[in-house]
Amino acid sequence: MNLERLFSKRTRTMRPSEIRELLKLTQQPDIISFAGGLPNPNAFPINELQDVVKKVLDKDGKLALQYGPTEGIRALRNTLANRCAKDGIDATSDNILITTGSQQGLDVLGRIFLDPGDTIIVELPTYLGAINAFRAYEINFEGIPLDKDGMQVDLLEEKIKELQKKGIVPKFIYVVPTFQNPAGVVMPESRRKKLVDIANDYDLIVIEDDPYGKLIYEGEAVKPIKSFDDEGRVIYLSTFSKILAPGFRLAWIVASQELIRKLSVGKQALDLCTNTFAQFIANEFIESGYLDLHIMRIIEMYRPKRDKMIEAIKKYFPPDTICHKPRGGMFAWATIPGNIDTEEMFLDAIKEKVAYIHGKAFYVNGGGANSMRLNFSYSSEELIEEGIRRLGRVIERKLKESK
Ligand code: PMP
Ligand code: G9A
């Protein structure tokens, strides 16, 4: 049977995610994986969760196992709204929508905003899962390069003007401003304010995706872009995936009430509601004080892993490799010298039983061929050293071949 003729036009623009495809490969125990943005499973708070799950079942079992509201259970929305205040974001529970992972949040945003042929603006490089979520809506991407301080907002303004001349108004600007995926950089406060000013001046929406903002290894937290927004044009996303456990598939969006209502209708057809049991558990986990303790614990666990990875890159990669030490998050971004294509090199790396995500996967317009994203949260320090040593060998061989 020829299924191709039956598939929607939309499916032609869909692409499998390198991260998802590689997850299967890298789950093989003998591969050292720096590929997926996986939390360290040794950190999962299993004992605390046993306590919390029992409490939830004893106290709220009948509600927790039932369908819940599409927007999410009120208790969790309240708890998250209160936590927003600590980050300078003004929100009540009506400004919160619980989603099945931020990945669903991105898709629902695509659903409510994007028509085929629309244009959106993203960072170069940007989160691959967002590229795939938005690409399915048959849109055009415009990219703004990053520097060590995140999206270059001066270039953003130029781009908006250039598009205006062609009669194009971008539907939104998507940014991961804090410990960016994949590049690890942080946008400082001055740029955040400038970005909000630009959005106000040109009447645009900003989507701020922030899964990593709490994973800070040194220095101060930078306030979310959303905290500078007085006009309800910044939509903020965060998730329990990196600070608790991705298996929960639990995340949230903070936005104006009007947007939350629209997003909620967009979400109804996807899953009716997010896993109610997981919401009760997460709420109890926070209320019992476990979440803040857990975040402190994983920060202490990930910092030395980050240090080990950066140290190993300095030791084993060619001396003119560019790799800045990220101040937080889960990723190091390395750009290696010469004409090496990290996508091609991947096969050699797999032969050496080490995996990463090649740089091109994060670019909407080409670019990134000699870069790679390396996750440091998942592997032990010993395996980080060994994996980077193997990669160093692969790179050295490739460089010799290309001469
Ligand atoms: N946005 C970014 C920037 C991410 O890095 C991730 C996960 N790697 C997501 C969204 C999706 O997260 P979730 O597990 O909440 O779906
Ligand atoms: O496993 C996933 O798809 C989530 C991880 C995202 C990432 O590696 O950026």
DSSP character string of 333-390: EEE-STT--HHHHHHHHHHTTEE-EEGGGG-SSS--TTEEEEE-SSS-HHHHHHHHHH
| pLDDT, tens only, 41-90 | 999 999 999 999 999 999 999 999 999 999 999 999 999 999 999 999 99
Residue 238 Cα to ligand 2 midpoint, Å, equals: 14
Q: Using CA positions, which residue lies closest to atom 7 of ligand 1?
A: 37
- Cα–Cα distance, 379 to 385 (Å, whole number): 10
> Strand pairing of 234-239 and 251-254?
antiparallel
Residue 240 Cα to ligand 1 midpoint, Å, equals: 10
3-state secondary structure of 208: strand
Does residue 182 line the site of ligand 1, with CB under 6 A? no
| pLDDT, tens only, 253-310 | 999 999 999 999 999 999 999 999 999 999 999 999 999 999 999 999 999 999 999 9
Residue 37 Cα to ligand 2 midpoint, Å, equals: 5
Q: Using CA positions, which residue lies closest to atom 5 of ligand 1?
A: 181
- Cα–Cα distance, 212 to 243 (Å, whole number): 8
- Which of 104, 82, 125, 105 lies closest to 207 in space, CA to CA? 105
Residue 309 Cα to ligand 1 midpoint, Å, equals: 22
Tokens of 399: 């460089």
| pLDDT, tens only, 294-336 | 999 999 999 999 999 999 999 999 999 999 999 999 999 999 9
Which of 38, 132, 212, 333 has most ligand 2 atoms within 8 Å of CB, for mutation? 38
Q: Which atom of ligand 1 is nearest to the CA of 104?
A: 16
- Which of 134, 109, 111 lies closest to 122 in space, CA to CA? 134
| pLDDT, tens only, 339-370 | 899 999 999 999 999 999 999 999 999 999 99
Q: pTM of whole model > 0.75?
A: yes
Q: How far is CA 32 from CA 12, 171, 316, 382, in A?
A: 33, 40, 16, 10
Ligand nearest to the CA of 130: 1
Residue 396's pLDDT is 96
Does residue 184 line the site of ligand 1, with CB under 6 A? no
Ligand nearest to the CA of 375: 2
Residue 131 Cα to ligand 2 midpoint, Å, equals: 12
Residues with CB under 6 A from ligand 2: 19-20, 23, 36-37, 129, 181
Q: Using CA positions, which residue lies closest to atom 5 of ligand 2?
A: 37
- Which of 249, 248, 14 lies closest to 110 in space, CA to CA? 14
Does residue 132 line the site of ligand 1, with CB under 6 A? no
Phi and psi at 154, nearest 5°, equal -65, -40
- Which of 251, 288, 254, 203 lies closest to 87 in space, CA to CA? 254
Residue 375 Cα to ligand 2 midpoint, Å, equals: 10
- Cα–Cα distance, 45 to 294 (Å, whole number): 7
Residue 17 Cα to ligand 2 midpoint, Å, equals: 9
| pLDDT, tens only, 162-184 | 999 999 999 999 999 999 999 99
DSSP character string of 244-291: T-GGG--EEEE--HHHHHHHHHHHHHHHSS--HHHHHHHHHHHHTTHH
Q: How many other β-carbons are positioned within 10 Å of the β-carbon of residue 216?
A: 19
Which of 174, 178, 239 has most ligand 1 atoms within 8 Å of CB, for mutation? 239
| pLDDT, tens only, 92-136 | 999 999 999 999 999 999 999 999 999 999 999 999 999 999 999
| Domains, the chain | 3-45+296-397 (3.90.1150.10), 46-290 (3.40.640.10)
Q: How many residues does the chain have?
A: 403
Ligand nearest to the CA of 212: 1
Beta bridge partners, 336, equal none
Tokens 């939104």 appear where? 172
Q: Which atom of ligand 2 is nearest to the CA of 35?
A: 8
- Cα–Cα distance, 384 to 305 (Å, whole number): 8
Which residues have CB under 8 Å from 385's CB, separation 6+? 308, 312
Tokens of 12: 């032609």
Which residues have CB under 8 Å from 328's CB, separation 6+? 178, 179, 184, 186, 212, 213, 215, 216, 217
Q: Using CA positions, which residue lies closest to atom 7 of ligand 2?
A: 37
